[in-house]
Structure 1
Amino acid sequence: MNFENIEKLAEILDKYNLSEIDYTESDAFSITLKGAVAAPVQAMAAPVAQAASAAAPVVNSDEGLHIVTSELVGTFYASASPDSAAYIKVGDEVTVDSTLCIVEAMKVMNEIKSEVNGTVVEILVDNGTPVEYGQAIIKIKPS
């Protein structure tokens, strides 16, 4: 376990508003992260985030976009296998029934298909990330 992996666990803890994560890699390594521990880190980062937001105003650009959501709880995969190219990337044109990604649930690979024709604007989840039912995963600008 390295520091980057611990940071990823902390991000999952924060992203899904969990109170605690227990992780055991082997008999030799075990870690527990609690939500209350992450709060001071966020508090220290707040002035930096406020300064950044003051420099660049945030604009709600989701208006008119089609938001693709996860149809089930599972793991998001951008491609069919680790050696395969991603199904989509930002800027790609997609059509109705184009495969966008896979969500694995209980060892079953479920293809998520586009419901609209359009351009991929943003992919909201990283490859291999857990997703929840109804979670926004991809933004598409309909054509």
Structure 2
Amino acid sequence: MDFNTLEAVVKKVANSSVHQVTVSEGEQSITVVNSSQSQVNSAAQPAMTQQSSQNNPVASAESTSKHIASTYVGYVQLGQDAAAAPLVKPGDTVEVGQTVAYVDVLSKLMPVLSEVSGLVDKILVTNGDKVDYAKPLIELR
């Protein structure tokens, strides 16, 4: 694949409302994900709304829960490496901007930063799980 073409695609995706584009040439392909702040907010909001609107006998607890969602497509890593302890665990307090996990995107670890603060209630994924953009990773209360 031509590097200049890939660079142009990345720039166009970054300056658009497109969330994700995959470019293929022969047996090679690359996926470009737009993780700009506006994309993160618009994609994470439906995931949080969907979770809280499900029919659940514990409606009061569900309405107060918040989720930290993946901002990338790849494989989740809860610690700095496969052998490291998770960055957060149930009972921990999370602040806005705190790194709570990583997503392995094409062998590069990309941090997942919390956009909300709260107390970790549940970790919804395990190391190595494949995650899509806006998939809830951590539930806070």
Query: Which residue number corresponds to residue 129 of structure 1?
Result: 129
Report 1:1-143 matches (<5 A). 58-60=57-59, 61-141=61-141
Residues 67 and 139, structure 2, Cα contact 8 Å, conserved in 1 = yes
Q: TM-score, length-normalised on structure 2?
A: 0.55
Question: Structure 1: any 5+ residue segments left out of the alignment?
Answer: 1-56
Deviation, 1:109, is 0.7
In percent, how many aligned pairs have the same letter?
Answer: 29
Deviation, 1:140, is 1.2
Deviation, 1:58, is 4.4
- Report how many aligned residue pairs link the two structures: 85
What do residues 52-84 of structure 1 show as CA deviations (whole Å, max 9, x unaligned)?
A: xxxxx9424321222111112100111011232
Once residues 95 and 111 of structure 2 are traced to their aligned partners in structure 1, the CA distance between those partners, rounded to angstroms, is 15
Deviation, 1:95, is 1.2
Once residues 94 and 126 of structure 2 are traced to their aligned partners in structure 1, the CA distance between those partners, rounded to angstroms, is 19
Q: TM-score, length-normalised on structure 1?
A: 0.55
Tell which deviates more after alignment, 73-82 or 59-68.
Answer: 59-68
Once residues 136 and 98 of structure 1 are traced to their aligned partners in structure 2, the CA distance between those partners, rounded to angstroms, is 16
Q: Find the residue that maps to 2:63 and give its secondary structure.
A: coil
Q: Find the residue that maps to 2:64 and give its secondary structure.
A: coil
Query: Which residue number corresponds to residue 17 of structure 1?
Result: none
Structure having the higher Rg: 1
Once residues 116 and 134 of structure 1 are traced to their aligned partners in structure 2, the CA distance between those partners, rounded to angstroms, is 14
| Amino acid aligned to 1:128 | G
Q: Find the residue that maps to 2:67 and give its secondary structure.
A: strand
RMSD: 1.6
Residues 99 and 112, structure 2, Cα contact 8 Å, conserved in 1 = yes
Once residues 125 and 137 of structure 2 are traced to their aligned partners in structure 1, the CA distance between those partners, rounded to angstroms, is 6
What do residues 90-124 of structure 1 show as CA deviations (whole Å, max 9, x unaligned)?
A: 11011111111001111111101112221001111
